[in-house]
Amino acid sequence: MTTHAATQTPELQAFSKDIRSLELSPLWERTVSQKPGTPCVPHHWRWSELEPLLLKSCELIGKKDAERRVLMLENPTLRGQSFIAQTLFTGLQIILPGEVATAHRHTPNAMRFVMKGQGAYTSVGGERSMMLPGDFIVTPNWSWHDHGNIGTEPVIWMDGLDSAFTKFFGATFREDYPTETQPLYRAEGTSAASYGAALLPVDFRPEDGPSPLLRYPYERTREALETLVRNQPLHRAHGAKLRYANPATGKHPFPTMAAFMQLLPRRFSGSAYRTTENTVFNVAEGSGRVVISGQTFDFGPHDIFVAPSWCDYALSAHEDCVIFTYTDRPAQEATGFLREEEL
Ligand code: GTQ
Ligand code: FE2
């Protein structure tokens, strides 16, 4: 890299100092990084530590104390700032039997990845969807949403939001719904019937934006990957990997966030890869190892780890692994910033 250090004459020093009082700064003295990557670091959260803490939080925080019982996963470099990487929010939400997480809406888009427990539902835009482990669920921005647990066990899921984008743009808005839950005016399964069978309503005109399909059931994702692993060569770095698509457009489920599921067969040893995407991993099944920027993390089911932009990573599987990921890829594709390489 070339740097053009200006000769520091007394006159130039005085000049640089003087202009500061006018809120000006000389580009030739700037120190901000002009390289890929961010100050964020790779990090691993173990389920064995997360689950007891989530259960403990239920004793300490009642549903009346918090509209959502969520533990945020923060990058060690972003303490107190709510984000797991510069562009992504990750929270773990727990809801006990009988509880309701009241209806609201906000400009950030949200996704859920269900980790443990049955009996919870989410209502989005007048339609209720049950949430089963491994399901990927879409909450389009500005749509009313409330959650509830009508089962008999705690339910835990991961929330992924693009609130870093709304914060960056100064475009964060939120509203409470006037009542605890929203009225339901579409039968459960309507979104799946309309958009989830590789069919579309006859008068439907696709529009860019979040996916109209609200729930992507794990069963179908798992089966698709299983078939591909048996019948197709594996990608050197990613094994068998599929991306969740907006069925109306073929694009990503959100304008800002992409989501993926991959299957790494037992003993798979992936090659190294890096991308300018910030990537959050959630292990649906299996155990293995990931090396991110030289740091080794041995992971098991429900562990979460983050690979910030341009950190190289390599995945390997001790047993069959199914791994959910989400990233800021669509935003980087739209801007032309995205770069990736196999190493
Ligand atoms: O469930 O609506 O983790 O609004 C953060 C913000 C969850 C939610 C989060 C939210 C929600
Ligand atoms: Fe929300």
Output the CA–CA distances (angstroms, integers) from residue 236 to 18, 216, 233, 310, in the order listed.
56, 26, 9, 18
Q: Which of 7-11, 48-52, 337-341 has the lowest mean pLDDT?
A: 7-11
Q: What is the DSSP string of 290-343?
A: EEETTEEEEE-TT-EEEE-TT--EEEEESS-EEEEEEESHHHHHHHT---EEE-
182-200 pLDDT, tens digit each:
999 999 999 999 999 999 9
Q: Tell me 148's DSSP state.
A: E
By CB atoms closer than 10 A (0-12, 13-18, 19+), residue 46 is middle
pLDDT at 70 over 60: yes
- Give the per-residue pLDDT at 66: 82
pLDDT at 120 over 70: yes
Reported as type and span, the H/E element at residue 136 is strand 136-139
Cβ(146) – ligand 1 distance below 6 Å: no
pLDDT band at 4 (very low <50, low <70, confident <90, very high): low
Q: pTM for the whole thing? A: 0.97
Cβ(103) – ligand 1 distance below 6 Å: no
73 phi/psi in degrees, rounded to 5: -95, 115
Distance 212 CA to ligand 1 centre (A): 19
- Give the per-residue pLDDT at 65: 83
Distance 198 CA to ligand 1 centre (A): 29
CATH homologous superfamily of 43-342: Jelly Rolls (2.60.120.10)
- What is the average pLDDT score of the chain? 97
pLDDT band at 3 (very low <50, low <70, confident <90, very high): low
Cβ(131) – ligand 1 distance below 6 Å: no
Q: Please report, in angstroms and rounded to a whole number, the separation of the first and last CA atoms in the chain.
A: 22
271-315 pLDDT, tens digit each:
999 999 999 999 999 999 999 999 999 999 999 999 999 999 999
pLDDT at 67 over 90: no
Best mutation site among 54, 70, 111, 124 for ligand 1, i.e. most ligand atoms within 8 A of its Cβ? 70
Cβ(303) – ligand 1 distance below 6 Å: no
pLDDT at 213 over 80: yes
Distance 35 CA to ligand 1 centre (A): 33
pLDDT at 2 over 70: no
Joined together, the tokens standing for residue 164 give 């870093």
149-172 pLDDT, tens digit each:
999 999 999 999 999 999 999 999
Q: What is the DSSP string of 252-275?
A: -SSSS-EEEEEEE-TT-BPPPEEE
pLDDT at 49 over 60: yes
Q: How many CA within 13 A on the CB side of residue 125?
A: 15
